[in-house]
Amino acid sequence: MRARLAPAAPAWQAGAMANPSDAEARPAPRISFVSLGCPKALVDSERILTQLRAEGYELSRSHAGADAVIVNTCGFLDSAKAESLQAIGAAMSENGRVIVTGCMGAAPDAIREAFPKVSAITGPQAFESVMAAVHDAAPAPHDPFVDLIPEQGVKLTPRHYAYLKIAEGCHNRCSFCIIPKLRGDLVSRPSGEVLREAEKLVRAGVKELLVISQDTSAYGRDLKYAASRWRDRDVAARFLDLTRELGALGAWVRLHYVYPYPHVDAVVELMNGGNVLPYVDVPFQHASPRVLKAMRRPGDQQKTLDRIRAWRAICPDLAIRSTFIVGFPGETEEDFQLLLDWLDDARLDRVGCFQYEPVKGAEANDLGLEPVPDEVKAARHKRFMLRQQAISAKKLAGKIGRRFEVIVDEGGAHLAKGRTKGDAPQIDGSVHIATRRPLRAGDIATVKIDRADAYDLWGTAV
């Protein structure tokens, strides 16, 4: 199926409120569009076109008169690939600013080889990447009639921090988890796309970027670490490369859901100074090899302890946060004791603990393992939290008398509340700040710590 899209009705015909003279004064960028391939590709084209119109772009009948051309390709058969390459070739010679998307975009090398100067290549269903490439090639002018969404998108977090999702889905198969069933395997966003979103957030006033995905350190594996364009350079879709570039944007960068793979060591090196915070959130889940095996997770917790020690040698101020599950089917008192002992050795900074729940559809329910009674789960949860409280209280007491940079979450004229670099919003502890000058949310203040309990710190802004 091949379709070159005709222009839609002019903007002033679509809405009674629009003023034709405004449209004439500021002509909207024009996009030419070629849609090739099957109905799924056509639906992708419709979605892109809908968004283009919603953002105020016009459609162009000809490549020559357009600000950019989008070619939605098909790569199903060799003949379809040849037709796609032909369509890209025509767009390159008639226009030159060409964004390639669709099935052929999943194998970008063939396209780059034939047309090294295409502006951007994205795979199928990469709707956000296509729109990001369009914004780069032909930015949509701000128009209050069509542009009701702030540049950085609609955010549900306070203005000074924002979550930045770098991938969707997961290639692991932990037996208690149904996320891969719900969301499929790992699909990473191209690094250029992530960085453009991060840049917009920072420009809009975000001071702290919270990097999330299901398995952040696996970022880019599905893309074979392919580079994508960011500013004047290519950036590999690699955890280290992406983190380094994010750290150069000027906001704090906090990494969540990092698994202790060997390549994470190089990322921890970035945490010694600069904006990549000395903080990793690593969901360890358990420490008993038997339980970890039943959970289908790496089972050598001694190696994990060695890795933690290595990270602390690289970055002495590193804060490690983790989550654990107690009462997993088949967990014995011996397994649980092993977990408590491991906790003593690991001396983690922040810890969350959940009692196992048999999620419908999770494989763990069918392993034939003895469920742990609810009262045993509750008792283990309590013992676990008490053990960690003692560790945490000792660690926080060690901060008394020291000075830390603190980002303010709740401002005030005399009292404010914030977090150190070692604390994420919502899940970790707070710093209660006494201050002589008013502090606003998003300010970063230096605070001298006066006292501590097992969770929070109290100090004075200096």
CB closer to ligand SF4, 174 vs 424: 174
Phi then psi dihedrals of residue 80, to 5 deg = -70, -35
- How, if at all, do strands 68-73 and 98-102 pair? parallel
DSSP class of 372:
P
Is 396 near ligand SF4 (CB under 6 A)?
Answer: no
450 Rama sector, left if φ>0, alpha if ψ -120 to 50, beta otherwise: alpha
Closest distance of CB 160 from ligand SF4, Å: 28
Q: Contacts with ligand SF4: how many residues (CB under 6 A)? A: 9
CB closer to ligand SF4, 127 vs 354: 354
Query: In whole angstroms, what is the distance from residue 311 CA to residue 295 CA?
Result: 25
Which two tokens mark 387? 């053990």
Closest distance of CB 170 from ligand SF4, Å: 3
Closest distance of CB 304 from ligand SF4, Å: 15
Q: Which of residues 152-211 bind ligand SF4 (CB under 6 A)?
A: 170, 172-174, 177, 179-180
CB closer to ligand SF4, 174 vs 277: 174
CB closer to ligand SF4, 45 vs 214: 214
Closest distance of CB 179 from ligand SF4, Å: 4
Closest distance of CB 296 from ligand SF4, Å: 8
Closest distance of CB 214 from ligand SF4, Å: 4
Sign of the C-alpha dihedral computed for residues 320, 326, 329 and 334 taken in this order? positive
DSSP, residue by residue, 25-64: HSPPPEEEEEEESSHHHHHHHHHHHHHHHHTTPEE-SSST
224 Rama sector, left if φ>0, alpha if ψ -120 to 50, beta otherwise: left
CB closer to ligand SF4, 174 vs 267: 174
Query: In whole angstroms, what is the distance from residue 35 CA to residue 26 CA?
Result: 28
Tell me if 89 sits within 8 A of 169, measured CB to CB.
Answer: no
Closest distance of CB 321 from ligand SF4, Å: 15
Query: In whole angstroms, what is the distance from residue 121 CA to residue 113 CA?
Result: 12
Crossing angle for the helix pair 39-54 and 127-137, nearest 10 degrees?
50
Tell me if 194 sits within 8 A of 242, measured CB to CB.
Answer: yes
Of the candidates 398, 297, 308, the residue with the CA atom closest to the CA atom of residue 344:
308
Q: Where are the alpha helices (DSSP H) in 270-368?
A: 289-294, 301-314, 333-346
CB closer to ligand SF4, 45 vs 285: 285
CB closer to ligand SF4, 252 vs 356: 356
Candidates 45, 122, 214, 288; binder of ligand SF4 (CB under 6 A) is 214
CB closer to ligand SF4, 146 vs 177: 177
CB closer to ligand SF4, 215 vs 335: 215
Closest distance of CB 283 from ligand SF4, Å: 7
H/E run at residue 320: strand 319-326
Closest distance of CB 218 from ligand SF4, Å: 9
Candidates 55, 197, 215, 423; binder of ligand SF4 (CB under 6 A) is 215
Interface positions with ligand SF4 (CB under 6 A): 170, 172-174, 177, 179-180, 214-215
